[in-house]
Amino acid sequence: MSLSGIPVLILEKDTKRTHGRNALQSNIMAATAIAEMVRSSLGPRGMDKMLVDSIGDVTITNDGAEILKKIEVRHPAAKIIIQASKTQDDEAGDGTTTVVVVAGELLKQAQLLLEKGIHPSIIIKGYRLAAEEALKYLNEIAIEAKDDKTLMNVAKTTMNSKIISGFKDYLAKLVVDAVKQVAEEVDGTIKVDLNFIKIIKKEGEDISSTQLVKGVVVDKELKNDNMPKLIRDAKIAIVNPAIKLEKTELDANIRISSPEDIIAFKQKEEELVRNMVEKIKAIGASVILCQREIDDLAAGMMAKYNIMGVQNVAKRDLQRISKATGAKLINNLDDLSDEYLGSAGIVEARQIADSKYIFVEDCKNPKAVTIVLRGGTEHVVNEVDRSIHDALAVVRDVVEDGKVVPGGGAVEMALARHIEEYADKLSGKVQHAVRAFAKSLEIVPRTLAENAGLDPIDMMAKLHSAHEEGKKTYGVDLYKATTKDMVKAGVLEPLRVKTQVIKSASEVAQLILRIDDVIAAKKREMPKGPAGPGMGGMGMGGMGMGGMGGMPPM
Ligand SMILES: Nc1ncnc2c1ncn2[C@@H]1O[C@H](COP(=O)(O)OP(=O)(O)O)[C@@H](O)[C@H]1O
Ligand SMILES: [Mg+2]
């Protein structure tokens, strides 16, 4: 850049700048490369990925969000796509692979239009119009249902695509029970806060030993071995301040002139602690869960009184226990009263494998529950955890919204056809973009078929003709190379998942298409740790991303 011959530098030296079409090209390539990478894991018959991080830890999964979380990418456009998958996870809890695959396809189709000389702004406009229309239509065709069978089907559909699918009936029931248990009506609408479904992972046994506890399980042990291990009809106090001897303040002035004085002073202190415990006992508490310390003296007294005492309980767990038992957090031991106590059928110190837990269970209509996950190995337990995470989220979506759509590519096909019809009503070049949007949605049934080893061209032809006949709920039967009614088959997904897919995928596609200039500061050299630079073994190169090789690193 120059003004009357004098160069004016507005960018830092070494700043990398990619202009116009080059920038767009590079961004589209990066985004589609990411989509291509997760595409083969979409659906029940998708493949699993083995991810190895820079310190050699292995994760085996086919959870799109998990795959993208674990890989390290450098390209800014790839990062934007990964962000969309995270948003999908936060908003709907499932559909994280789908959103990436659809966004990638939207960009691939956009690329074809660009090659035909259609300007990015026209494509952006077309995508915006198509997305709006898609969302409207999606709402129209959604099915209203939130009965148990639907909830079970939604949970099972999510778990179909996971390694644990053999246990999906068992786990789906557990998930539905958990979500319904914590659902609460707030101002006339049903709300499910998944924070109140605690998950405890413990390897050992097998998946079928996974259980739902009607209450809260805390990974702590009793403070004193002489405390009772089991209490029935427990009265529970949850306490914030420490129950211990307060150390005398530094500036206090104590005059001690004889050994008797020391003993008297000690006794005085002990009396204070004794008073605290007496008070707790007086209001009838049989279990004390304390956020801070319970000292040995206090614990010894509790044991004598047959009171269970547990210290250092996480605040979050105390909140859950409060929800489950009705106990109210005690912030000041002086204003103790039995109004603060909660109740549980059983409180028990229990050991699972080599770990100790306190079970607060058998609560009456608890609004907080715990799922204790079991599985043969750490890998299994972690994959069960991810599956349960998705299943809890989709069941929550449906309990809250009461709306589902057919899976197996059915809803995407119905949307694609509707948007095609919508495009007919438009004129000009924008029509091409709207059609490209419709075509992009077909990537879902096509990929499901492809991943199942079916002939995608044949399957798509069958699917088109089914929908042509008005069978709008028909999707891909992944086991019989035919189409079938997904509603009848019980392959259902929350409306919220698909709504979010449309929103996020079209937003990121538009966002990336709008960029015509990438100005990247020179990457600062990171000090090299023992494991080497961040890209380590897990960089794009490490993942076999040949396609990314030509991309300028930014
Ligand atoms: N039994 C089934 N038959 C056909 N499609 C199914 C079946 N179960 C699940 N699906 C489809 O699999 C897709 C979800 O795959 P998944 O790997 O979980 O990706 P995502 O991370 O996007 O949820 C959805 O389109 C869903 O409808
Ligand atoms: Mg899924």
In angstroms, the CA 460 to CA 449 distance is 8
Classify domain 235-246+255-344 at the CATH superfamily level: GroEL (3.50.7.10)
In angstroms, the CA 398 to CA 409 distance is 19
Tell me how far the alpha carbon of residue 159 lies from the centroid of ligand 2, in angstroms.
Answer: 7
Q: Examine domains 16-141+406-522 and 235-246+255-344 and report if their fold is the same.
A: no
Closest atom of ligand 1 relative to the 100 alpha carbon: 22
Q: Which fold has domain 16-141+406-522?
A: GROEL; domain 1 (1.10.560)
In this structure, the residue with its CA closest to atom 4 of ligand 1 is: 408
22-to-108, 507, 518 alpha-carbon distances in Å: 15, 21, 9
pLDDT of residue 5: 61
pLDDT of residue 540: 38
325-to-11, 194, 368, 454, 493 alpha-carbon distances in Å: 61, 17, 9, 52, 33
Tell me how far the alpha carbon of residue 476 lies from the centroid of ligand 1, in angstroms.
Answer: 10
Predicted confidence band at 8 (pLDDT cuts at 50, 70, 90)? low
Tell me how far the alpha carbon of residue 448 lies from the centroid of ligand 1, in angstroms.
Answer: 8
Predicted confidence band at 542 (pLDDT cuts at 50, 70, 90)? very low
* pLDDT per residue as tens digits for the range 40-76: 989 988 777 777 776 777 777 777 777 777 777 778 8
In this structure, the residue with its CA closest to atom 12 of ligand 1 is: 43
In angstroms, the CA 110 to CA 422 distance is 18
In this structure, the residue with its CA closest to atom 6 of ligand 1 is: 408
Closest atom of ligand 1 relative to the 95 alpha carbon: 22
Q: Is the CB of 161 within 6 Å of ligand 1?
A: yes
Domain limits, the chain: 16-141+406-522, 235-246+255-344
CB atoms under 10 Å from CB of 387, counted, come to: 27
The fraction of the chain above a pLDDT of 90, given in percent, is: 66
Predicted confidence band at 406 (pLDDT cuts at 50, 70, 90)? very high
Closest atom of ligand 1 relative to the 160 alpha carbon: 8
Active-site residue set? 63, 96-97, 390
Tell me the whole-structure pTM to 2 decimals.
0.86
Report the chain's mean pLDDT, rounded to a whole number. 87
Query: Which residue in 218, 223, 222, 224 sits closest to 359, CA to CA?
Result: 218
